[in-house]
Amino acid sequence: MEQNQFKVEFIASKMLTPSVAELSFRRLDKLPFPFVPGQFITFLLPHPSGKIVPRSYSLANSPSQTNQLDIAIAPVQGGFATNILFNLKSGDLLDCVGPKGRLILQEAEEPNHYLLVATGTGVAPYRSMLPTLAERLEEDKKVTLLLGVRYASDLLYAEDFIAFAQKYPHFHFRGYLSRASAETPPYQYIGYVQSAFESLDLNPMTDLVYLCGNPYMIDESIQQLQNMGFNLQSIRREKYISRRV
């Protein structure tokens, strides 16, 4: 058995957008599940071949929900994990390990501006960070969250981020739509998240960037940020890679 391995029980699911579901689990042993916002869990899924196939998903809920684990998942057509996770029934059990991951808010860091960039379900860890970000915002920090999707209907957790922005003036949420019409309502912009960097008045000496989601977005963003003077120590990233198997 792998270290930190435990069983989780499936509770329920709900659709966040037309193409993304939130799945909720709890530890079967009812023990607390401490984790740091930004971390992920890995399901150990049994394959018909007899192998165990690991699949990792960022936690979207706050650690204050001590025994609950929420993940956001977009189905992959023909995907092995999709077939299992989207057919779970209440009470079904899965083996799991975690938490893991380094896409977290460090205690010692003191940037003037956090830039949180995501595509699709890559925004899940930032939702988990909201209570911690609230504390940082009280210290007069600035936080900008950019979420890239195709259409406005794909902006998952948008209501949570908009409500947070309305409560904290130094928190800014921007949803970037790659396939939108010419007119967009507040909080929505046309284009890709990396197209926004030049307009954000970023300072490579004092700001910290987080990237999560599509590998192409992350690679292009890193190149663009380095061209703006950022070094890799100021850029944290986690790539989401879709797999059929």
Given the structure tokens 């970037």, which residue do they identify?
176
Q: Give the per-residue pLDDT at 1.
A: 52
What one-character DSSP code corresponds to residue 34? -
212: enclosing H helix or E strand: strand 207-213
Tell me what the pLDDT averaged over the chain comes to: 93
**What mean pLDDT is predicted for residues 129-154?**
93
Radius of gyration over every alpha carbon of the chain, rounded to an integer in angstroms? 18
C-alpha to C-alpha distances, 21 to 55, 76, 88, 198, nearest whole angstrom:
16, 12, 12, 33
- Percentage of the residues of the chain whose pLDDT score is greater than 90: 81
pLDDT tens digits for 54-66? 999 999 999 876 7
Higher pLDDT, 239 or 17: 17
**What mean pLDDT is predicted for residues 37-44?**
96
**What mean pLDDT is predicted for residues 178-201?**
88
Higher pLDDT, 110 or 199: 199
| Nearby residues of 34 by Cβ (< 8 Å), 6 or more positions away | 63, 66, 99
Q: Is the pTM of this model over 0.85?
A: yes
pLDDT band at 244 (very low <50, low <70, confident <90, very high): very low
Q: Give the per-residue pLDDT at 245.
A: 44
On the question of pLDDT at 210 being above 70, the answer is yes
Q: Give the per-residue pLDDT at 207.
A: 97
On the question of pLDDT at 39 being above 90, the answer is yes
In the chain the domains, ranked by start, together with CATH numbers, are 5-100 (2.40.30.10), 113-239 (3.40.50.80)
On the question of pLDDT at 3 being above 70, the answer is no
Q: Which amino acid is at 147?
A: L
80: enclosing H helix or E strand: helix 80-85
pLDDT tens digits for 71-127? 999 998 888 999 999 999 999 999 999 999 989 998 888 899 999 999 999 999 999
The number of helices, as runs of H, and strands, as runs of E, in the chain is 5, 12
